[in-house]
Amino acid sequence: MIPKFDDSGFLPPGVHPATLVEIEERFGRASELRRVQMESVRWMVDLAIRAGVHRIILNGSFVTDIIEPNDVDCVLLAADFEVDAAAEDDLLEGLPFLDIKLVDAGDFDEFVGVTFAADRTGAAKGMVEVIKWI
């Protein structure tokens, strides 16, 4: 379950696991922009499955209480085995409304533990991990 927002409109610190259905219910319906961003998230997950991605974390204004978020920041833990190269290329080229980083384990830990863990002022905040997508 995705927790409630804090007084600043952010999720509490940490990684909050959620299914695509839960993510859509919470973040993907409040506005037309959020609906199209959610569609891009679904496309990304489909490509990620083909590319052998191990984990997906969503961040940015999409996982806040902002009605019209700028985009969805995403970090994907890349496969450590041979993958569908075309799907990986599509992820690297990007999708509408998504800022996708396809990274190795060290960079993934940096994004989750540092980059995505705080807002621009350094205040701790949460992010969402897509689960049950394979």
For the stretch 111-130, pLDDT in tens is: 999 999 999 899 999 999 99
Tell me the mean pLDDT in the region 53-68: 96
Given CA atoms 116, 53, 37, 31 in this order, what sign does their dihedral have? negative
Q: Residue 111: exposed, middle, or buried by beta-carbon count in 10 A (0-12, 13-18, 19+)? A: buried
SS3 content of the chain, % helix, strand, coil (to 5): 40, 20, 40
The 10s digit of each residue's pLDDT in 10-21 is 999 999 999 999
Give the fold, CATH level 3, of 14-130.
Beta Polymerase; domain 2 (3.30.460)
% pLDDT > 90, the chain: 93
Task: Report how far residue 74's alpha carbon sits from residue 112's, in angstroms, rounded to the nearest whole number.
Answer: 10
What is the rounded average pLDDT for all residues in the chain?
Answer: 95
Tell me the mean pLDDT in the region 90-118: 96
Tell me the mean pLDDT in the region 70-88: 93
Q: Going edge to edge, which strands form the sheet with 126-130?
A: 14-18, 126-130, 55-59, 72-77, 98-103
pLDDT of residue 22: 97
pLDDT at 134 over 60: no
Tell me the mean pLDDT in the region 26-52: 96
